[in-house]
Amino acid sequence: MSTTNASPLTSLDQWEDDVLRRYPDPESIATSKSTEAYRNYEAPERDTVREFYKLNHTYQTYDFVVQKREDFLRFNRKEMSVWDAFQFLNQLVDDSDPDTDLDQFQHLLQTSEAIRRDGHPDWMVLVGLMHDMGKVLCLFGEPQWAVVGDTFPVGCAYSNKVVYSEFFKDNPDYNNSEYNTQYGVYEPHCGLRNVKMSWGHDEYVYQMLKDHLPEEGLYMLRYHSFYAWHRENEYSYLLDEHDKKMLPWVQLFNPYDLYSKNPEPPDWEKLRPYYEALIAKYLPSTLKF
């Protein structure tokens, strides 16, 4: 962030406006390829991607989501430090992601470092570091189609702007009259907090960290994979005014998550002191998983 002509901010609203004005230039983040080359689902470089979404869209039913929430949001499986959890993520390559084959911890560092370089608040840097922490669900035997990938509402009609939406025809909810209308089980403008999303790492990490970060950061965590909303402007009929207010923050975060992916891994040993201090500032010594 440039400090040229900087002046003190006189209110929280002015501070928020200042942060949102500093939307990143995607081309400055995408150092390894052009921005148009990201999220290429027509001809993904990795052959796991299409098969992943076929499984994801077939089995992510409303009942499945309810069962997984009841199971995993008790957080009674394990207690460990953030650093122990990162050790697990070092073993994971996301089958849904056409843009990187680096392990997850390296992706998280690339995201958080891009946010830090642009001078955003340290809580947002922490969001960058933690946004995919929920992928530790794979540690508990969950298949990747139940952990990663773009998210979407369940319990109402699917948007054709969801990636590989053609695979929804194999989902039992597709022909279920309770779930396949525009609103399904929801009320108009009920707010995303009242909408069940396809199960995965976004909701899990949001629930894990909801007592430790500002609301703007929590929206980034909870909806960063909801591309049909924050990129395609779908599902407007479910949004309330609070969702609309939070949308620019999710959109601010998205380019850092997407375009920071490049083949060069960060230098963890050089970065470690900063991130150890950042974790200690905001989070307890251990988290429940």
Cα–Cα dist 46/262, whole Å: 15
| Nearest Cα residue to 179 out of 159, 155, 198 | 155
Q: pLDDT confidence of 106, banded at 50, 70, 90?
A: confident
What share of the chain has pLDDT > 70, as a percent?
79
Least-confidence region, from 26-40, 111-125, 154-168, 182-196: 26-40
- Top pLDDT among 31 and 211 is at 211
| Nearest Cα residue to 264 out of 152, 34, 109, 88 | 109
Placement of tokens 């849904």 in the chain:
96
Contact 76, 210 (CB under 8 A): no
Q: pLDDT confidence of 5, banded at 50, 70, 90?
A: very low
The pLDDT, as a whole number, for residue 138 is 87
Question: How many domains, in total, are found in the chain?
Answer: 1
For all residues of the chain together, what is the average pLDDT?
A: 85
Tell me the mean pLDDT in the region 223-247: 97
> Has residue 38 got a pLDDT over 50?
no
Residue 2, domain member (yes or no): no
Residue 163, domain member (yes or no): yes
What is the per-residue pLDDT across 12-32, written as a single tens digit (0 to 9) for each? 444 445 444 545 655 555 455
Contact 183, 66 (CB under 8 A): no
The pLDDT, as a whole number, for residue 172 is 98
Contact 116, 271 (CB under 8 A): no
The pLDDT, as a whole number, for residue 248 is 96
Range list of H helices, the chain: 12-21, 26-29, 48-59, 62-72, 82-89, 104-117, 122-130, 201-209, 215-223, 227-230, 241-259, 268-282
- Top pLDDT among 116 and 11 is at 116
| H or E stretch at 287 | strand 287-288
The pLDDT, as a whole number, for residue 3 is 35
Give the global pTM.
Answer: 0.82
Host domain of residue 150: 48-288
> Has residue 262 got a pLDDT over 60?
yes
Residue type at position 196: K
Q: Residues 6 or more apart from 63 whose CB is under 8 A from it?
A: none
Residue 282 burial (CB count, 10 A): 15
Cα–Cα dist 81/203, whole Å: 19
The pLDDT, as a whole number, for residue 74 is 98
Residue 78, domain member (yes or no): yes
Residue 123, domain member (yes or no): yes
Residue 166, domain member (yes or no): yes
Residue 24, domain member (yes or no): no
> Has residue 64 got a pLDDT over 90?
yes
Query: Residue 12: exposed, middle, or buried by beta-carbon count in 10 A (0-12, 13-18, 19+)?
Result: exposed
